[in-house]
Amino acid sequence: MKHTLPPLPYAYNALEPHIDSRTMEIHHTKHHQTYVDKLNAALDRHPELAERPLDDLMKNLATLSIPAADKKAIRNHGGGHLNHSLFWTIMGPRKEIDQALVTDIEKSFGSISEFKRQFTDKAAAHFGSGWAWLVRDEKGKFKLYSLPNQDSPVLKSHAPVIGLDVWEHAYYLKYQNRRPEYIEAWWHALKLLP
Ligand code: MN
């Protein structure tokens, strides 16, 4: 089973002016495609893993009997594939509020604005490439953190809910070094929350 690039569920320019069309196109067709290709290349060396769902491989990465370099490739490129596949679907040209999620966030963080403040801090403070995450842990409890590179929360058996890509490739063309401006604009592109 080859992994494939999922189609973007909207046009490349659909998130303008918050995220520009050129960034979306390169991000999807070049960056995400490369994660898919390199994940497939690593799995091609281990046909016994071909039918295992990616989530399952990520959760059990430490126990797989494969060379360290291939584990690293699955961690990086499998993570990149999982992370971006989620990222495209939580954004959209129109708000599609997830009311159950809103209620849960209000219960855990007090308010949506307080959640956004804490999440923004994690995303802004993350040093170098990586992602800010809202996840549910093994007990279903929300956790907020950032992870480096393409590390997926699934590596920790956490379920990603909201992820924000803070690699420069996600914002540099429009925002250059101004990551805080990108984060501020991104809340408009995130369709799940008001
Ligand atoms: Mn990215």
Phi, psi of 165 (to 5 degrees): -75, 115
Beta strand pairing call for 159-165 and 130-136: antiparallel
Phi, psi of 137 (to 5 degrees): -80, -175
pLDDT tens-digit readout, 102-130: 999 999 999 999 999 999 999 999 999 99
How many whole angstroms from 23 Cα to the centroid of ligand 1?
10
Establish whether domains 21-90 and 99-189 are of one fold: no
How many whole angstroms from 80 Cα to the centroid of ligand 1?
7
How many whole angstroms from 184 Cα to the centroid of ligand 1?
17
Give residue 128's pLDDT.
97
Retrieve residue 105's tokens. 């966030």
Retrieve residue 29's tokens. 């067709």
pTM: 0.97
The Cα–Cα gap between 175 and 183 comes to 10
Question: Closest Cα to residue 156, out of 36, 43, 87, 62?
Answer: 62
How many whole angstroms from 129 Cα to the centroid of ligand 1?
9
Give residue 124's pLDDT.
98
Retrieve residue 4's tokens. 């494939």
How many whole angstroms from 110 Cα to the centroid of ligand 1?
30
The Cα–Cα gap between 11 and 24 comes to 9
Give residue 1's pLDDT.
75
Domain boundaries 99-189, corresponding CATH code: 3.55.40.20
Per-residue pLDDT of the chain (194 residues; tens, 9 = 90+): 799 999 999 999 999 999 999 999 999 999 999 999 999 999 999 999 989 999 999 999 999 999 999 999 999 999 999 999 999 999 999 999 999 999 999 999 999 999 999 999 999 999 999 999 999 999 999 999 999 999 999 999 999 999 999 999 999 999 999 999 999 999 999 999 99
How many whole angstroms from 107 Cα to the centroid of ligand 1?
30
Tell me the domain boundaries of the chain: 21-90, 99-189
Answer yes or no: CATH 1.10.287.990 is held by domain 21-90: yes
Give residue 172's pLDDT.
98
* Residue 47, number of CB atoms within 10 A of its CB: 8
